[in-house]
Amino acid sequence: MTVVDRFLQYVKFDTQSDELTNMTPSTPGQMIFAQHLEKELRELGLKDISLDDNGYLMATLPGNMQRRDVPAIGFIAHLDTSPDMSGRHVAPRIVEGYAGGDITLNAEKGVVLSPAEFPELLNYKGQDLIVTDGNTLLGADDKAGIAEIITAVAYLMAHPEIEHGDIRIAFNPDEEIGKGAHKFDVERFGAEWAYTMDGGEIGELEYENFNAAVARVTFTGRNVHPGYAKHKMINSIRIANQFAIMLPRWETPEHTEGYEGFYHLVSIEGTVEQTTLTYIIRDHDRDRFERRKKEFEHLTRKINHEFPGVASLEINDQYYNMREKIEPVKHIVDIAVQAMRNVEVTPKVVPIRGGTDGAQLSFKGLPCPNIFAGGLNFHGRYEFVPIPSMEKAVEVIVEIARLVAAR
């Protein structure tokens, strides 16, 4: 079975995660998909296969060398797709030999994937692309990663002449809601280091990510008949709006790039009586990250000075920049860079403007850089994945396994 065959099969599973259920996995579709993968891994003949009650699936491809000093390494991908858009009834289509220009995804709804809006499309002229039907996301994040890992393992099993140490693989739930690593048993996984196959376009290699927090600011008002409200009404919606415009307008996702951090207002829920603003706070630099959180505390105090007791603030850290954990073992990045070059992929070492399970896993004792899975425009109907990118990701995994053994 090819990587494409696997991918087209996997995207049929509806595995959207849901942060409101307070369960692990957060949705039943993820466990159904994990059970399917468990069966596939058993049929392949992998060892030490385990699927726990929380939806964490692990397995081993045993090493084929006499030497015992080759470190066990791991490859990890996540089962869930983003809650941002439906992942039910995904109907992928292959555009053969993309010639450039627009790709009509859904003529009835006028959904068009165009290089005018997504210029990166033109980097893949002449290649076969997998696209959506314009109604759902595709699921390359991260079912492309899962397909690539399993295909690479199957290739290594079929080619025993390629020497390798123990290869551990894991597929976990709920990455998209920031909980993928929460119940990941690093000790049971038993690898010295690992790679998440969860990056974007071909060549991406990431070992820096945002420090991340979520902030909820709740404003409690007082509702009075508007005709008789003078000096009595406290309109929490208006006060919440006042808070929002006090944050710097240029430090938002739509105005930042590279290493620049931001404040991002992700939801507003409110009435006159009570309004809640939910923000995510992001910055690569730890000191700036802490200052951004202090700014929320400062603005909350400022609001409460004008409207005593109206505003309350809750801030929770989500994950931290894994660079501080990767730098002491930088050779694991060097191996991935060399593997890419060996299979004629140009490495693009860039900071993640987001987070991966690898960030949290690195702080749990499993250093875990992130490697491209090949997809683009994740989390929406314009998502696509070039087939050659997935095939190269398979080659990179195989080459990493070979290089680790050779070293």
Which residue numbers are catalytic? 80, 175
Largest CA distance in the chain: 86
Q: Which residues are paired to 376 by β-bridges?
A: 384
Q: Is 39 in contact with 48 (CB distance < 8 Å)?
A: no
Take residue 32 and report the two structure tokens written for it. 């159904």
Rounded Cα gap, residues 198 and 227, in angstroms: 56
DSSP H or E run through 59:
strand 57-61
User: In a 3-state reduction of DSSP, which class is residue 107?
Assistant: coil
Q: Are strands 57-61 and 274-283 parallel, antiparallel or unpaired?
A: unpaired
DSSP H or E run through 100:
none
Q: Which residues contact 23 (CB under 8 A, 6 or more apart)?
A: none
Residue 134 gets which letter from DSSP? Answer: S
Q: Please state, in angstroms and as integers, the Cα–Cα distance from residue 46 to each residue in 40, 50, 248, 300, following that order.
A: 9, 11, 53, 54
How are strands ordered across the β-sheet holding 311-319? Answer: 262-270, 274-283, 211-220, 311-319
Take residue 227 and report the two structure tokens written for it. 């005709």
Take residue 346 and report the two structure tokens written for it. 């140009």
User: In a 3-state reduction of DSSP, which class is residue 112?
Assistant: strand
Nearest to 341 by CA among 392, 280, 267, 282: 392
Nearest to 175 by CA among 151, 141, 201, 200: 141
Take residue 116 and report the two structure tokens written for it. 């005018």
For 251-354, where are the alpha helices, taking DSSP H only? Answer: 286-306, 323-326, 331-342
Rounded Cα gap, residues 96 and 387, in angstroms: 10
